[in-house]
Amino acid sequence: MAWSAAHGFQIPASTAITRQRSVTPSVSAAVSPWRRPSSVPAISTRQMSFKCLAIPKCTDIIGIETDKAPEALGPYSQGIIANKTMYVSGSLGLVPETGELISDDIADQTEQALKNVGAILKAGGADYDRVVKTTIMLANVEDFALVNQIYAKYFPHSPAPARSTFQAGALPKNAKIEIDAIAVI
């Protein structure tokens, strides 16, 4: 088997790449470094195919559902596992039993949103230490410092996950925060 530079794809050398030329230049043909000889066809006339065997079948996608986190508010999963990676959908500060915001306070909503993310991670076989990327959407970016203090309690290990934080125009249920995560399992 041939390996890519990143060693991520196993590709059988005999079937991975096929190139067909309609014309082969002769050994004595003069070749300019600036111009393709007329005897060599343009790339557009070549037939090329690439077969990647590293991408798993769609049956390897598993949905995550837990009653320890709020139900999805729309046609999406609480989380998905694909290719040993877990994708946790955006979580609001909703109480799982009622589906309502824990309070109108940003600190309370942040704590609850992170607890909800943790419940989904646990249901999928991971925890906060396995998170590699999060996204935080805030209704008001002025809450950034307070959210950071609470967030740091849930991700104390080093390196902390990569993260994006931005102010959203509006969040579902008039929430003040929404957090999603990507973890490896």
* Token reading at 80: 């998905």
Each residue's pLDDT tens digit, 51-97:
445 555 555 899 999 999 999 989 999 999 999 999 999 999 999 99
Closest CA to 130 of 89, 183, 84, 88: 183
**DSSP codes, 32-46:** -SSS--TTSPPGGGS
Sequence-separated (6 or more) residues with CB below 8 Å from residue 162: 132, 133, 134
Mean pLDDT of 22-34: 48
pTM comes to: 0.69
pLDDT at 50 over 80: no
Q: What is the pLDDT at residue 60?
A: 81
